[in-house]
């Protein structure tokens, strides 16, 4: 079966090149880098490694993962944006560097809408609101009432100023007209530790990161930030349905190439990515991360990136968030 897929892939490339009158070597004929903007072990890294293995099977080429963490993902994004537009350097895009950063970094070295050629969205990862012992309420309506009755006495943690969970917290704070102070940390780990210890009241985090602490009784699951309920927490209400209509926040991933990459290469990568994301074993592997597969075409992903950049830009402006 793999041999047939590879043969079909090569035939499609040859037919495309012949139809356009372009003489080109079979792509890819050398290793393709998938640059991940975070350290090994996280959701973006694991997703990239799952995709790279299956892209090898589909295309017959070599795909390698390279981690370039730093500056909320901006270091990797800028590196890819400034790489040759030849299809051999791709970015594992994420809501942080590819939607939020544009609005909070005054001297960003790339443009989220102009510096990349989208290939396709791969996943969404639900975000949930969790609380520690400082919060007496056990549900979202009770939490909101408790915070409103005690202005200035509650706090929310994040992985750092300008991080995705910081912006989600600001959207929650302003949307419900709450008076909570933001407490930034250097990463989700120390932030969650202090929420569990009662040093900080609550935080938004991914469902997969929260799950062991919720099931272990160390954190209270208050609500789901995305509009869809999370299978791992079937009884948890969404913020949208409970207290703030229209509230919707999730983390997401996808593949992009540098702007100017050949449309034929983008089409080929998109087709290969769609085949990979349709594989049951890929869906199963990514589900273990709490991720839901979302296979979109390049133009759909471009529109989604713009909508996300616009949404988080408005939140950042309203909350006056500027990263150092």
Split at pLDDT 50, 70, 90, the class of 25 is low
pLDDT tens digits, 258-310: 999 999 999 999 999 999 999 999 999 888 777 899 999 999 999 999 999 99
Strands 292-293 and 116-131, by their bridges, are antiparallel
> 263-277 vs 280-287: helix axis angle to the nearest 10?
80
Split at pLDDT 50, 70, 90, the class of 94 is very high
In whole angstroms, give the CA distance from residue 150 to residue 11: 66
The whole-number pLDDT of residue 19 equals: 44
pLDDT tens digits, 116-151: 999 999 999 899 999 999 999 999 999 999 999 999
pLDDT beyond 70 at 167? yes
Q: Do domains 2-124+251-319 and 126-242 have the same CATH topology?
A: yes
In whole angstroms, give the CA distance from residue 79 to residue 99: 16
DSSP assignment of 37-105: SS-TTSHHHHHHHHHHHHHHHHHSS-EEEEE---GGGHHHHHHHHTS-SSSSEEEEEEHIIIIIHHHH-
Question: Are the C-beta atoms of residues 286 and 293 closer than 8 Å to each other?
Answer: yes
Split at pLDDT 50, 70, 90, the class of 22 is very low
pLDDT mean over 170-176: 96
Question: Are the C-beta atoms of residues 190 and 183 closer than 8 Å to each other?
Answer: no
In whole angstroms, give the CA distance from residue 269 to residue 256: 10
In whole angstroms, give the CA distance from residue 290 to residue 30: 33
DSSP 324: -
Using DSSP, state whether 28 is helix, strand or coil: coil
The whole-number pLDDT of residue 239 equals: 98
The whole-number pLDDT of residue 23 equals: 39
Question: Are the C-beta atoms of residues 276 and 58 closer than 8 Å to each other?
Answer: yes
DSSP 223: E
The whole-number pLDDT of residue 171 equals: 96
pLDDT mean over 232-258: 95
CATH H superfamily, domain 126-242: Periplasmic binding protein-like II (3.40.190.10)
**Cβ partners under 8 Å of residue 59, min gap 6:** 6, 9, 28, 268, 272
pLDDT tens digits, 201-242: 999 998 888 888 999 999 999 999 999 888 888 899 999 999
The whole-number pLDDT of residue 71 equals: 86
Phi, psi values for residue 321, rounded to 5°:
-90, 120
pLDDT mean over 28-37: 96
Quote the mean pLDDT of the chain. 91
The whole-number pLDDT of residue 311 equals: 93
Using DSSP, state whether 121 is helix, strand or coil: strand
Q: What percent of the chain has a predicted confidence (pLDDT) above 70?
A: 92
**Domain spans of the chain?**
2-124+251-319, 126-242
The whole-number pLDDT of residue 189 equals: 87
- What is the reported pTM? 0.83
The whole-number pLDDT of residue 98 equals: 96
In whole angstroms, give the CA distance from residue 127 to residue 104: 21
pLDDT mean over 21-41: 81
The strand ranges marked E within the chain are 32-36, 63-67, 89-94, 116-131, 154-158, 180-184, 202-206, 220-224, 250-258, 292-293
Fold adopted by 2-124+251-319: D-Maltodextrin-Binding Protein; domain 2 (3.40.190)
For residues 26 and 92, the model is more confident at: 92
Token pair in block for residue 232: 């791992």
């Amino acid at each position: 079966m793999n041999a047939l897929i590879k043969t079909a892939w090569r035939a499609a490339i040859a037919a495309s090149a012949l139809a356009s009158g372009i003489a080109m070597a079979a792509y890819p004929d050398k290793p393709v880098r998938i640059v991940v903007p975070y350290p090994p072990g996280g959701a973006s890294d694991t997703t990239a490694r799952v995709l790279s293995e299956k892209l090898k099977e589909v295309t017959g080429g070599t795909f390698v993962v390279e981690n370039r963490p730093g500056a909320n993902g901006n270091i990797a994004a800028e590196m890819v944006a400034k790489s040759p537009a030849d299809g051999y350097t791709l970015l594992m895009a994420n809501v942080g560097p590819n939607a939020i950063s544009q609005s909070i970094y005054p001297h960003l070295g790339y443009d989220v809408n102009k510096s990349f050629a989208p290939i396709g969205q791969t996943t969404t990862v639900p975000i949930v609101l969790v609380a520690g012992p400082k919060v007496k309420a056990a549900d979202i309506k009770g939490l909101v009432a408790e915070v409103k009755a005690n202005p200035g006495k509650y706090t929310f943690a994040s992985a750092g100023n300008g991080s995705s969970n910081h912006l989600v917290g600001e959207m929650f704070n302003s949307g419900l007209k709450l008076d909570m102070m933001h407490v930034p940390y250097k990463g989700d780990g120390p932030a969650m530790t202090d929420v569990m210890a009662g040093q900080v009241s609550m935080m938004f985090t991914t469902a997969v990161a929260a799950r062991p602490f919720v099931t272990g009784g160390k954190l209270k699951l208050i609500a789901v930030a995305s509009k869809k309920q999370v299978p791992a927490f079937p009884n948890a209400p969404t913020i949208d349905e409970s207290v703030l209509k229209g509230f919707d926040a999730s983390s997401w991933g996808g593949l992009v190439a540098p702007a100017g990459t050949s449309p034929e290469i983008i089409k080929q990568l998109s087709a290969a990515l769609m085949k990979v994301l349709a594989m049951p074993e890929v869906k199963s592997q990514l589900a273990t991360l709490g991720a839901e597969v979302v296979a979109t075409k390049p133009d759909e992903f471009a529109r989604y990136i713009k909508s996300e950049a616009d949404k988080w830009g408005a939140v950042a402006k309203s909350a006056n968030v500027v990263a150092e």
